[in-house]
Amino acid sequence: MASNSPHVYHLKDSIPFHESSLGSIQRCTADQLPVLNGMSLKRLVLGPRGIREPHWHANTPELAYSLSGEALVSVLDSGSVFSSFTIKAGEMFQILSGSLHHIENLSDSESCEFLVCFRHERPKDFSLSAAFGAMTPAVFGNTYNVPASSFEHANFSTDAKEIIAREGKPTVPDTAHLPNPHKFNVEGMEPPLRGEGIGSVKPARSQFWPALSDGNLAMYSLTVEDTGMREPHWHPITAEMGYVHRGTARMSILDPDGKVDTYTLKEGDMYFIPPAYPHQIEALPEGGKDIHFCIFFDQAMPRDIGYKTSAAAIPHEAMAATLGLTRSEMPSLETAVVDPLMVKRVNDVDKVESWTR
């Protein structure tokens, strides 16, 4: 069992790169996990009255999933397109690269928590406070048609503040609870992929959320029960980056050099799998009845090839030769013409030593 897998990072246990009484930000970029390519992840916690300061990303879109709490998100897209909407646990929002946005905890007593995925292994941010700090009071006065002296008490700096505090009650527009193209209720959907008693998948992809096509990101809310298993599979042109929200799981990945990287994931861990690397996920008994993953992809419509459909594509005698069996030794394999995603576990969980190569 790999204890220091090159594919895994303990995000929730990591030292925040920003932390105060208002909240914290933890991140996993290629600096923390070198295998990352084209993706990275942040965990954002906003305390009561905390605000993720207005900012934008210079080189990546953003796809966020709310783990807890209620927040207000405001967005200014190019072309002077304004959006403002509320986000609750189980809902998501998408921000395009370069679009100004802010995230504000609406509670005076409870924290809110987000997973934020980026389409770059090293996201570059600009904060609005730093952008203001790059200009002079006279420039501001000209911009807003006020005397430069109006800003004499402002704290101008090009350093990002990251998380700031709200004074007083939040201003929530009357339309903030209405549907918005930036927003998607992934946990509120009826799962299109479900195995009775083995788990379900709720996909936030362009098929159901057309706005994702512009950002080239997607996410699956995957629940695997202890009687089920995510079948071994690979994504031909898609990288996968997952976060364990609940439970304990075991994963196994085959690297191109023939090494099998097998490891245990607990709540708060994340992993990354490059395109076309075969891998598998299953719940471990010590983690409870099921596992819940938030799995992000670097394509708006991710595709799979599974082991079960692979057996249907390869002739019987070729499959027997592949497995090193004679045709008479070859068992009758249950196959599928459509990837089932999850299968029922009919065998006990292997001891890792018995099958790691």
The length of the chain in residues reads 357
Residue 3 is predicted with a pLDDT of 54
Q: Percentage of the chain with pLDDT > 70?
A: 97
CA 234/CA 277 separation, integer angstroms: 6
Tokens of 147: 């005397």
Among 34-48, 267-281, 313-327, which is the least confidently predicted range?
313-327
CA 146/CA 293 separation, integer angstroms: 51
Would you say domain 186-304+348-354 falls under CATH 3.90.550.10?
no
Give the pLDDT confidence of 168-196 residue by residue, as tens digits: 999 999 999 999 999 999 999 999 877 77
Residue 352 is predicted with a pLDDT of 61
Residues 130 and 157 sit within 8 Å (Cβ to Cβ): yes
- Residue ranges of alpha helices (H) inside 145-262 are 212-215
Domain ranges of the chain: 8-183, 186-304+348-354, 305-338
Check for a shared fold between 8-183 and 186-304+348-354.
yes
Q: According to the per-residue pLDDT averaged within each range, which of 197-201, 271-275, 312-316, 342-346 is highest?
A: 271-275
Return the amino acid letter for 141: G
Mean pLDDT of all residues in the chain? 92
CA 344/CA 334 separation, integer angstroms: 12
Give the pLDDT confidence of 38-88 residue by residue, as tens digits: 999 999 999 999 999 999 999 999 999 999 999 999 999 999 999 999 999
Measure CA 343 to chain center: 24
Average pLDDT over residues 119-124: 98
Class for the domain spanning 8-183: mainly beta
Residues 69 and 46 sit within 8 Å (Cβ to Cβ): yes
Q: How does residue 357 score in pLDDT terms, banded at 50, 70 and 90?
A: very low
CA 325/CA 310 separation, integer angstroms: 17
CA 121/CA 105 separation, integer angstroms: 27
**Among 37, 5, 1, residue whose Cα is nearest residue 271:** 5
Return the amino acid letter for 162: E
């082991």: which residue's tokens?
A: 307
């101008």: which residue's tokens?
A: 156
Residue 353 is predicted with a pLDDT of 52
Residues 173 and 203 sit within 8 Å (Cβ to Cβ): no
**Among 56, 11, 45, residue whose Cα is nearest residue 29:** 11
> DSSP string covering 62-122, please?
EEEEEEESEEEEEEEETTTEEEEEEEETT-EEEE-TT-EEEEEE--SS--EEEEEEESSSS
Tokens of 166: 């709200």
Q: Give this prediction's pTM.
A: 0.94
């009255």: which residue's tokens?
A: 49
